[in-house]
Structure 1
Amino acid sequence: MTDNVQRNREAEVNLLAAARDAQWSPTTFLGPGSLKLVSPAKVNLLLAIGAARADGYHEARTIMHALALHDTMYVAASPATADEIAAAATAARPDAAVGGPADNLLVCIDLSDRTGQDLVVPAADNLVFKAADALARALGREEAQRVAVRIEKQIPAQGGLGGGSSNAAAMLVALAQLWGVSADDDRVVAVARSLGADVAFFLQGGCAQLGGTGDALERALVPSRQAMVLVKPAAGVSTAEAYRRFDEQPTPVQPAVLDAACAAADAADVPLANNLAPAAEALLPELAQVRAWLADQVGAEKVLLCGSGSATFALVDTFEAASALAVAASKQGWWARPTSLSGLRAAIVPSRR
């Protein structure tokens, strides 16, 4: 296949995707009973990774903060027949997966990627499906159901911004509502924690300190609304590889910095620190370039890698300043977005009807 033919086919696919998005509406595709949800990104103001435990996990203390940047999700549930579920399982559709305690849950995911990454995630591998499957099992759901999900992605993948985890938390919130349980039901919270520390955080949102392996809520902090810019190179970083590199040469967060962070009652008073950053930069040296470039613009003390990367954030005084930095970073060839810290959590958007 020639390059021109390949480009023409890619352009045709993109145009078809754009046309599909333009025609999409929650009422038409999910029905009048659909739920709309906000699914925010997050950053770690503090990430202090400790020693590896016998179970392979690491002790961790972190202070997470939700962002205004968010994905939008729509979720609806309807009765399904055994034949419909069996047909989907047999066809091995990439947009659908079957789960539940008795293979009685069909989850169909429509993923609209608006980050420029052309993200493709088979439904069975999507944390949203895993959340639905785990909650159905935890609640002992016996009804055969079809759950339709639409995810409009604004949070880039492999950025350390928690987009997939936030989507999973939003799915738990939606299904709790649709299945008649509270979002803070112990079973919902237990499922969130089983899926990962970030998932549990997004049920809380705002700003919170977590301990244990980073999944145990220790306290809430007063959220900030400070503006920031996010900058991400095209390549990503494997979290598992970052931890392996960290274990080869662990560097603890300085005790004075950790004590100051853990004593802060307000997010604005948390000193920025991430001892996983050197390991991530060793795996992807371009991260050091991004950090140095941002430090030249705003000062090193206001710049930090997001988790294990590959996004880096820089705190600024105004949204206008964040927007200007995002434009300048884009000219360097990096993905960049202005946003701000936020009190958001994974939540249902009230209907205007």
Structure 2
Amino acid sequence: MTENAQRNREAEVNLLAAAREAQWSAATFMGPNTMKLVSPAKVNLLLAIGARREDGYHDADTVMHALALHDTLYLRTEDISADELAKRVADSEGRVDTAVGGPAENLLVTIDLSDRTGQDLEIAAADNLAFKAADRLARAVGRDLPEAIQLRIEKHIPAQGGLGGGSSNAAAVLVGLAKAWDIPADDDRVAEVARSLGADVAFFLHGGCALLDGVGEVLQRTLEPSRRAVVLVKTEGGVSTAAAYERFDAVPCPASEEVLACDRSATKADEVLLANNLAPAAEALLPELSDVRVWLAEQAGEGNVLLSGSGSATFALVDTFAEASRIATAATARGWWARPTSLSGLRAAIVPGR
């Protein structure tokens, strides 16, 4: 395909996507073999990065907590013939919203990404963790029947924030497809695929609040979730997770053993002391993060403010949703993305009755 033809094709796809967005409705989409899923965000109440291991990963202790802020997914599966699959694959050539996977190249996955965060988020289907979740689960269970999977993702969780939106979407797809393919929810293959996709994906299968170790993917135990209000503030720029870890390796910042001991013994989220020893590395790469942290500490108190993961979202715990809303409004006036929400017991799950 020539460069001009490719540009024309991309323009055509964008116009079609805009038309679909204008006409899309849940009532029309929902029907046989469809389901609605919830996909929550998370924050790290604790992130304690340890030494770099021989496999290139780092030891990590973390306490993750789900938020009420969430994406909404709609999933439809359709069994089709091999001839119909071949036709649809040919018709989708050059489109960025489709990808082919499965153990026999037997899954055609179409992803309709509807960004509600104001970031104009664009991710090719083949690069989306949601597609990778479908592809790896199909391979893990040997599902080689021709199938079309349609997925709509309504994004409310901003990308590059350390809030786990893409990972949560992947976990929701695993939950949805396990149901569609009659795989038990506690099947080890589902959990293994989640771990292979990343520590955050594994967490979202459980949700709520949990202490994890290993490289952040091994569930040690759950904690009683909190219901405290939260305000999220995110800078326009993002932080590369790989770059943050490189900076951490160059300038190590060991976690406090006293804080670690306290958080490892906590039984409730409200007992966890906020700590993130990756934050100094992230702030060195994106100095605006320190401006957000200092400003939020003035609003909510220093002990209630923390960078989530490697950023670039910083959160503050406050007593009321009204207070979170006030701070979010003030942060927006300063030019930052901000949202009030709350800690939650949510996990990636099918919405009942759908």
Name the TM tier (shorter chain): over 0.9
Q: Deviations over 1:323-343 (max 9, x none)?
A: 010000000000000000000
The RMSD of aligned alpha carbons is 1.7
Q: Deviations over 1:171-213 (max 9, x none)?
A: 0000000000112110100100010000000000000000101
Give 1:315 shift. 0.5
C-alpha distance in 1 between matches for 2:38 and 2:168: 9
C-alpha distance in 1 between matches for 2:86 and 2:225: 47
| Aligned residue in 1 for 2:297 | 295
Q: Is residue 26–residue 34 contact of structure 1 (8 Å, CA) maintained in 2?
A: no
**Range that drifts further, 45-54 or 89-98:** 89-98
Q: How does 1:5-154 map to 2 (within 5 A)?
A: 17=18, 20-29=20-29, 31-90=31-90, 91-154=93-156
Unaligned runs of 5+ residues in structure 2 are 1-10
| Aligned residue in 2 for 1:344 | 346
Q: How does 1:214-233 map to 2 (within 5 A)?
A: 214-233=216-235
Q: How does 1:130-279 map to 2 (within 5 A)?
A: 130-279=132-281
C-alpha distance in 1 between matches for 2:83 and 2:340: 47
What is the TM-score when the length of structure 2 is the normalising length? Answer: 0.93
**Range that drifts further, 28-37 or 63-72:** 28-37
**Range that drifts further, 76-85 or 238-247:** 76-85
C-alpha distance in 2 between matches for 1:23 and 1:32: 20
Q: Is residue 33–residue 180 contact of structure 2 (8 Å, CA) maintained in 1?
A: no
Report the 3-state secondary structure (helix = DSSP H, G, I; strand = E; otherwise coil) of the residue aligned with 1:177: helix
Report the 3-state secondary structure (helix = DSSP H, G, I; strand = E; otherwise coil) of the residue aligned with 2:205: helix
C-alpha distance in 2 between matches for 1:30 and 1:334: 36
Q: Is residue 88–residue 96 contact of structure 1 (8 Å, CA) maintained in 2?
A: no
Unaligned runs of 5+ residues in structure 1 are 1-9
Q: Is residue 264–residue 270 contact of structure 1 (8 Å, CA) maintained in 2?
A: yes
Equivalent pairs counted in the alignment come to: 340
| Aligned residue in 2 for 1:282 | 284
**Range that drifts further, 81-90 or 108-117:** 81-90
C-alpha distance in 2 between matches for 1:341 and 1:267: 9
C-alpha distance in 2 between matches for 1:112 and 1:54: 40
What is the TM-score when the length of structure 1 is the normalising length? Answer: 0.93
Sequence identity, in percent? Answer: 68
User: Residue type of the partner of 2:308?
Assistant: C
Structure 1 residue ranges, 4+ long, deviating more than 6 angstroms after superposition: none
Cα separation, partners in 2 of 1:220 and 1:235, compared to 1, 3 Å:
same
Give 1:83 shift. 3.9
User: Residue type of the partner of 1:65?
Assistant: H
User: Residue type of the partner of 1:198?
Assistant: D
Give 1:46 shift. 0.2
Q: Deviations over 1:67-114 (max 9, x none)?
A: 000000010100133344334545132011000000001111000000
User: Residue type of the partner of 1:254?
Assistant: S
Give 1:27 shift. 4.2
Q: Is residue 140–residue 189 contact of structure 2 (8 Å, CA) maintained in 1?
A: yes
C-alpha distance in 1 between matches for 2:311 and 2:83: 43
Report the 3-state secondary structure (helix = DSSP H, G, I; strand = E; otherwise coil) of the residue aligned with 2:182: coil
Give 1:239 shift. 0.3
Report the 3-state secondary structure (helix = DSSP H, G, I; strand = E; otherwise coil) of the residue aligned with 2:236: coil
C-alpha distance in 1 between matches for 2:121 and 2:88: 22
C-alpha distance in 2 between matches for 1:194 and 1:263: 28
